[in-house]
Amino acid sequence: MIVNTLKIGISIDRILDDVRKVECNKLSRFNLASRKDINYLTKKHNIDKRRHDNDVIAVGLKVQEWNQNGKNYAFFFKQEGESHPVLKDTDFVVGFMNATMEKKLKDFGKIICMDGTHCTNRKGMDLTIMLVKDDKNAAFPVAFFLTNRLDRVAQELFLGALKKKVGEELQPEYFMSDDNPKYYNAW
């Protein structure tokens, strides 16, 4: 019963509330389930769909799954250990864009902004986010780029792969980026 409720997306807190309700003084092991028990069941039955304990390998498995399903969301991908004409074997890169993001970029590419988070995670990865100003005057993310390579070369490769994915030259009237010059220089 707990596994089935987890699979349909019921929260752990709700499950704990439900199992602790004792009917007609019939207490059983089921009524004493703890958060630790539920976490064990989640992991045992792979309910959270964790593909691998190593995040980089898990990303590779997810990209492989997308490609098998005909969903090419990762328009640029290089796993650590793979060779590339420009990148090092130790480099990891993934560029991500879904169909909605691509449509927004094509429809609202007049103003493009690139921003990044720099080494804010334990793996020292750099996340670049490309945004456009949409019809509601709100920033809308249109592409993500995650890499351990923190330089202009990686950004140039990202932009080149993005242009190839979109199938047209990006020619915004305005381009904004954060203080790091690698975005503007790569553009």
H or E element at residue 142: strand 139-147
Q: Which residue has the tokens 């969903």?
A: 71
- Answer yes or no: are the C-beta atoms of 156 and 149 closer than 8 Å: no
pLDDT band at 51 (very low <50, low <70, confident <90, very high): low
Q: How many CB atoms lie within 10 A of CB 59?
A: 19
pLDDT band at 110 (very low <50, low <70, confident <90, very high): very high
Q: Is 3 helix (H, G, I), strand (E, B) or coil?
A: helix
pLDDT band at 178 (very low <50, low <70, confident <90, very high): confident
Mean pLDDT of 102-112: 94
The whole-number pLDDT of residue 187 equals 78
Cα 62 to Cα 51, 72, 74, 170, 181, distances in angstroms = 8, 11, 9, 28, 32
User: How far apart, in whole angstroms, are the C-alpha atoms of residue 137 and residue 141?
Assistant: 13
H or E element at residue 181: none
User: How far apart, in whole angstroms, are the C-alpha atoms of residue 85 and residue 33?
Assistant: 54
Check pLDDT > 70 for residue 183.
Answer: yes
Q: Is 125 helix (H, G, I), strand (E, B) or coil?
A: coil
The whole-number pLDDT of residue 45 equals 76
Check pLDDT > 90 for residue 10.
Answer: no
Closest Cα to residue 126, out of 54, 182, 187, 57? 182
| Domains of the chain by residue range | 2-44, 55-186
Which CB contacts under 8 angstroms, 24+ apart, belong to 27-34? 30/1, 33/2
